[in-house]
Structure 1
């Protein structure tokens, strides 16, 4: 969500939708930024990956190191989940996180 906020224009909207199925929880995060630019969408999950610019869509200098989405993917996979770019383009991006629900009395 932090990336979505950083890459949305001032006054833009970030939408978070959570859904539950019988076996999984799904969270979609959608921003109104310019989309993934300067890097292939499947590479945004690589450690230290950055797009075309070191600036956010609000013109601020990005100070992060490009490990946030890599850590999200590692944690998702550790718990048999997935994270993917659903769509990206000039009107924004949507990322999807799917995690299995706890089974049989796990707290």
Structure 2
């Protein structure tokens, strides 16, 4: 087992949620473990519940956006700053659109 970083790097896309039950994406930890190529027990060693797994994935995926926001100078004119925010938002959404959509859904 290569630890938390290894599991995070292998959980690329959360499994489809079960629309009949209304589960949020990634709610089935067995499917996430299968996709990551680890046992469910190993997954629970690093993520005690599905919420912690989802929180870790959201943190990893949102990090580039937050970094881009921090690079915007405070004295930048409003329109230029807004342009940078919009550009960073677009990059965030198109980099991995399906995962971005699922994360947006799960955060609601």
Higher-helix-fraction structure: 2
TM-score by length of 1: 0.29
Higher-strand-fraction structure: 1
TM-score by length of 2: 0.29
When Rg is computed on C-alpha atoms for both structures, the one with the higher figure is: 2
